[in-house]
Amino acid sequence: MNIDNLEAFMYVVQLKSIHKAANALFLSQPTVTARIKTLERELNTELFSRQGRGITLTEQGRAFIPYAEQIIQTYKEGKKLMKDSNEQEEIAIGANVITSQYFIPFALPMWKKENLDVRFKFVSGTNDMLLEKLLQGQIDLAFIRDLSHDNLQRREVLDNTVKLVVYPGHPLLQENEITAKRLAEEPMVFFECGAFDWNRVHKLFEVEKVEPNIEFQVDHLEVAKSIIKSQCAIGFLPYLCIKNELFDGELMEVDVSHLIQIKQHIFLAYTKQEALNQIWSVIESSLTTFKQIDKNFLSIQ
């Protein structure tokens, strides 16, 4: 049984498309189709039913998946065993932009320190790009926002809730039960990014029929943060980018949970449990250390 035929089968299963599988394998569609047909002849059964241009798994095809996965995994393990003992093992990890900027620089040195014999390959990208790389087997793990996919497993790892922040000494810090009308009086910086639902912030003002005083509209978190620190405006920013400034007292959070709550989380996503098991202990340790600042911060409030 040809391992290439099995891999073609699993790519079609995961991507639910011969076209997408061909792109992922850098092959032509006829080549992928031929490999599937060869596998079907060897098994003497149909793995997919063809409906026009679409395909769906047959019952036999669905039943064969765990066996195909086991054969491919056994092959990979054997191939790994045959490698030169001096060759470093590589783990490929991806992260969306905000995690890449604010968590990965903290965590990656810790991972390497605990895994000296492992070479880490890291890529940054959009959530959609990372999902595609995961499904194609180009990366082993990815830090992304919540995405639902049949072949995707995930664990919640980081809080990235959006918070209203101001500079120290701002009058809002002394006020209780702040209203949308009161917020609209303050100059604001808006960070626009497709990864966050900023429509909910706009809706906060629309419901009260007031216009926010948006003095700055930017597409970079550090720019938005600097504007607030310079005491030119206030703004809603995701927690990961302001974590250190809150701890150091350079920025202050204003509680507006009675007006709006935008809870967001970063998830560690993967397609194969063994990929997570291989490095989960050191990732978990880095997450614990990263979050420890939060506990220290809360204890001195």
- Structure confidence by residue, pLDDT tens digits, 4-53: 899 899 989 988 888 888 877 767 889 999 999 999 999 999 999 887 77
The per-residue pLDDT for 67 is 93
Q: Do 178 and 259 form a contact (C-beta atoms < 8 A)?
A: yes
Domain boundary among 59, 82, 105: 82
Q: Which runs of consecutive H residues, i.e. helices, occur in 16-151?
A: 18-25, 29-43, 59-82, 97-102, 104-114, 127-135
Mean pLDDT of 209-232: 93
Q: Which two tokens stand for residue 108?
A: 């990656």
What is the reported pLDDT for 271?
84
Does residue 272 fall inside a structural domain? yes
| Domain residue limits at 122 | 89-158+266-299
**Under a CB-based contact definition with an 8 Å cutoff, are residues 163 and 151 in contact?**
no
261 domain-assigned = no
- Residues 106, 38: one domain? no
Among the three residues 254, 274, 289, which one is the final residue of a domain in this structure? 254
Token duo for residue 86 = 């001096």
Q: Per residue in 73-100, pLDDT tens?
A: 888 778 767 655 556 678 999 999 999 9
Instruction: Map tokens 């793995």 to a residue.
Output: 47
pTM confidence score = 0.68
Q: Are residues 76 and 8 in the same domain?
A: yes
**E strands in 220-295:** 235-238, 252-254, 265-270
Over residues 172-188, the mean pLDDT reads 93
Do residues 146 and 188 both lie within one domain? no
89 by DSSP, 3-state: which? strand
| Same domain as 104, residue 173 | no
The reply to whether 12 falls in a domain is yes
Q: Would 187 be classed as within a structural domain?
A: yes
Q: Among candidates 167, 171, 199, 169, which has minimal Cα distance to 185?
A: 171
In this structure, the answer to whether residues 177 and 217 fall within a common structural domain is: yes
* CATH number of domain containing 46: 1.10.10.10
- How far apart are alpha carbons 156 and 139 in whole angstroms? 19
> Which pLDDT belongs to residue 295?
47
In a domain, 153, yes or no: yes
Among 12, 152, 7, 22, CA closest to 76: 7
Residue 209 pLDDT greater than 50, yes or no: yes
CA angle 245, 247, 251 (to 5 degrees): 40
Residue 225 banded pLDDT, cuts 50, 70, 90: very high
Residue 300 has pLDDT above 60, yes or no: no
pLDDT digit string (tens) for 264-287? Answer: 899 999 987 777 888 899 999 999
Q: Rounded to an integer, what distance in angstroms lies between the CA atom of residue 98 and that of residue 160?
A: 9
Give the span between the Cα atoms of 23 and 28, in whole angstroms. Answer: 8
User: Position of tokens 């995994």?
Assistant: 73
How many domains would you assign to the chain?
Answer: 3
Distance, CA of 277 to chain centre: 18
Q: Is pLDDT larger for residue 6 or for residue 201?
A: 6
Residue 26's Cβ-side half-sphere holds a number of Cα atoms within 13 Å equal to 1
Give a yes or no: residue 260 inside a domain: no
Q: Apex CA 133: angle with CA 128 and CA 135, to 5°?
A: 95
- Tell me which DSSP letter residue 59 carries: H
Take residue 55 and report the two structure tokens written for it: 């395909």
Q: Does some domain include residue 259?
A: no
On the question of pLDDT at 298 being above 60, the answer is: no
CATH number for the domain spanning 170: value is 3.40.190.10
